[in-house]
Chains A and B, each alone.
Chain A
Amino acid sequence: MKKKVISALLSIAMVATLLAGCGSKEAATEEAATEEAAPAEEAAPAEEAAPAEESAEAGEGQVYYLNFKPEVDEVWQSLAAKYTEETGVPVKVVTAASGTYEQTLKSEIANANAPTLFQINGPVGYQNWKDYCLDLKDTDLYSWLLDPSLVITGEDGGVYGIPYVVEGYGIIYNNAIMEKYAAMDGALVKSADEITNFDTLKSVVEDMQAKAADLGIEGVFASTSLTPGEDWRWQTHLANLPVYYEYKDKGISDTDALEFTYSDNYKNIFDLYINNSCTEPGLLGSKSVDDSMAEFALGKAAMVQNGNWGWGQISGVEGNTVAEGDVKFMPIYTGAAGEENQGLCTGTENFFCINSQASEADQKASIAFVEWIFSSDAGKDAVTNELGFIAPFNTFEDDEKPTDPLAQEVLRYMADSSKTSVAWNFTSFPSQQFKDDFGAALLEYAAGSIAWDDVKAVVVERWAAEKAATAEAE
């Protein structure tokens, strides 16, 4: 019997070796290549072997991009494959799990094969990663920027992060459902355009929720996804609004101590979201962003807060019932004074950085890859039509701007001079930890475990603590 076990183990070992043989083909061919090179060197004159080696080394540049947005993983994978096909330069794209970008970057960048291309979310991110950011002042990419002031600059004036997308977010609504509502008896508005402040929004939403069955929806708002890691729409994007107004009142762009003076405004809209939804507040902790986009796409909900990047998620859902022409944006109203003129929240938190500690060949290869994406026809096509990016570079002609309905809406709001865009102040949020703590507090609030004042306390307290902690860490 024992012999049998041992022979079984041995055969397992053999199978494993075979399997390993398949898996490590790459390594094997590399080895084979060096083996081939070695005898060649012996046989051929030294001069011949040397340049061959050199060119091999120069061509050895590799790109490893650590992608930030899981929802566009596939687009990046296919872009990488296309680029490799065209140029022969290997490009690897790895996507960090939702909400774990910093964490993944940290463990990956310490690896021998560290990412050569990564991204930071703004000045706060730059502080964490400045040791790894290469000065990009001399790149074409920088020279193409429409507005060079958007870049992340270091203390020495170098350019360490280049924004590659301008995005906007607000409340996405399904105009078909809104028109159906407007046509009903006793409708409070004749069209969604009449909603220009929180009070109107609230009464309309509550009225719609009461008539949900007649409208054929399960709830006005799609699920407020509060699963940890899936809560960035609330702890970052929605949280931008109260911070924006507080900064505006104080005339500042960053602070060590947030007072959260617009806490009630946040509560206004958050309560509206969770109480007029197709999901019970207690269940929000199991919902993901994908879930809520699917609910919107399937017509179960009439509204969802998200940005123009969400179009892919809406159009990609199987059984999608929302017509392209019916997808519209409205600003997020919270009951702040003067919000009638408020536009969408537009800005960027996506800056490309090149790993300064990667080999020079890899750095060059990475820059070339990024430049290819934003200048070649294939790259631009993917950026515009698949990623749906509004790219801030002059290499894009007017007819190369995205045509998807949400990007169109963002462009429309940006062009409308009567609306003031809300700046993305969340790039000044102290840390991911702060956002996670805020999100967790929101989850507990939605589940009914804690009161709103506790959430407010968490925000104020954690903001100060995290600002202090990051200052200390530097």
Chain B
Amino acid sequence: MQKTLKKYFVVFTVPTLIAFCLAFVVPFVMGLYLSFCKFTTVTNAEFVGLKNYFRAFEEPDFLNATWFTVRFAVIAIISINVLSFVMALLLTRKIKGTNLFRTVFFMPNLIGGIILGYIWQSMINAILVNYGTTLVANAKFGYIGLIVLMNWQMIGYMMIIYIAGLQNVPTDLIEAAHIDGATARQTLFRVKIPMVMPSISICLFLTLSNCFKLFDQNLALTAGAPSKKTAMMALDIYNTFYGRSGFEGVGQAKAVMFFIVVATIALTQLRFTRSKEVEQ
């Protein structure tokens, strides 16, 4: 069968491969190369070695953005996962209206980042106006705002995954624990949580990569204001590329470093998940 199928290579794979090369392979290789070049358009590149990488750190922007991203990601990941797990526990108690709750909680996840950003921008400004200040007046507001926004968007999503995980916990296991006299707390920590470990690592991974790659929400909510103090890595790279002249190479170098960070996180997570799965 392989042999007959093999002849159909063109029909089965070439259209996808062409699109894939156009959208990804070629730009990726070019991007990698250009990070070592000085250029304004792709055609006038001039090799400059590692200079762009050094220039990326000459100004504090990139490091600040990285630090902000980390601070944001840590809090957002913890809060999203804890809250969504708690909500999943509540929604697996067979309460009436469970479906309605699930539907509403999940909905924000479908709304695009730009739209979400502006909804929350006007909401937060409407609250802050009572205190005589605005969202862009202080980086603290932008920071908290982003965390609240991300929670609003992602809690429903993570909750759904946790619910699916919790529903897969065999009921006889829980009943057995009950019969053995386990308290609710013991059942939770000794039975439920270990059993939903796969869901937990999936959710951690999803929140982690979403938080690190966040762009639209960041752009719409504060666009980095004030003084780029709330700009995350993706936004900083975008600003370096398109906000300034003569910094295209630096932007590309930052993008390569950003890629390395994101890829490292993803691969670590993958390895971690795999090893956990084997244990079970």
Contacts and interface: CB of A to CB of B under 8 A. Distances in A.
A388 B225 CA distance: 33
Contacts of B227: 437, 440-441, 443-444, 458
A268 interface: no
Given A103-B242, A474-B246, A282 B41 contact: no
Interface string B95-133: 000000000000000000000000000000100010111
A128 B245 contact: yes
A228 B133 contact: no
Main secondary structure of the interface of A (DSSP, over half): helix
B225 A447 contact: no
Given A102-B243, A286-B136, A469-B247, 7 more contacts: A102-B245, A131-B40, A284-B134, A440-B225, A443-B227, A449-B138, A473-B246
A447 B138 contact: yes
Contacts of A437: 227-228
A190 interface: no
Contact of B132 (A283, A449, A458, A474): A283
Interface in B188-231: 223-228
A433 B244 contact: yes
B135 interface: yes
Contacts of B172: none
Contacts of B26: none
Interface string B134-162: 11111000000000000000000000000
Contacts of B244: 431-433, 469
Nearest to B140: A449
B247 A227 contact: no
12 contacts: A102-B245, A106-B245, A128-B245, A227-B136, A282-B131, A282-B134, A283-B129, A432-B244, A444-B226, A444-B227, A447-B138, A449-B138
Contacts of A469: 244, 246-247
A443 B137 contact: yes
B136 A285 contact: yes
A245 B227 CA distance: 27
Contacts of A431: 244-245
Contacts of B279: none
Interface residues of A, number: 34
A280 interface: yes
A469 to B, nearest CB: 7
A418 interface: no
A103 B243 contact: yes
B59 interface: yes
Interface in A433-474: 433, 436-437, 440-441, 443-444, 446-447, 449, 458, 465, 469-470, 472-474
Contacts of B134: 282-286, 447
Q: Which of B129, B134, B224, B245 has the most CB of A within 10 A?
A: B245
Contacts of B223: 228
B59 A447 contact: no
A465 B137 CA distance: 25
A282 B245 contact: no
Contact of B137 (A432, A436, A444): A444
A116 B205 CA distance: 47
A44 interface: no
Interface string A258-295: 00000000000000000000001011111000000000
A103 B243 CA distance: 5
B133 A282 contact: yes
A161 to B, nearest CB: 16
A382 to B, nearest CB: 32
A156 B181 CA distance: 91
Interface in B162-195: none
Q: Max chain B CB contacts within 10 Å: which of A227, A441, A449?
A: A449
